[in-house]
Amino acid sequence: MASVSSNDNFIDPRDVEIEADNYESDIEDKKEEITLKYQEIADAEEIEDDEAEADARGELANLDDELSELVEESESILELHEECESYARGSNLINESYFAEYCEEFAYDCGEISRDSTMATYVDWDRYAEDSKMDYTTITFEGTDFYVQG
């Protein structure tokens, strides 16, 4: 399911929303399976079918484990989704490791400096990126900082 990764240079908040929705749906589906399994156990108890009850309890334990794994797996993407709703407003998140390169490309694209200019070789792009961070909000995802203009 991991289409959004902290290794990505950019994260599109729409992808985060899709992945968060998928996790939420999967969690709800798993809870429904658990509810049905409890009913199966109750039915087996009612007719005193010990073997069916034991099987259902074993399956219930597996479903509980699967639900726990899903919830744990989804935590970081659900947190990121919340932050994207608060800060991203449709803007891509830019990985910190790519931010200096992004700022350089942005400066060229906006015409702040010409690609053909010899001045470009004198620009300290890391410092330029560092100074540009004041216009961005930091969002941390899986231990990696991302910047979003906001």
Residue-wise pLDDT tens digits, 117-128: 898 889 999 999
How far is 7 from 150, CA to CA, in rounded Å? Answer: 22
Domain definitions of the chain by residue range: 9-89, 91-150
Residue-wise pLDDT tens digits, 31-70: 999 999 999 999 999 999 999 999 999 999 999 999 999 9
How far is 4 from 144, CA to CA, in rounded Å? Answer: 13
Class of domain 91-150: mainly alpha
Amino acid at site 19: E
pTM score, two decimals?
0.84
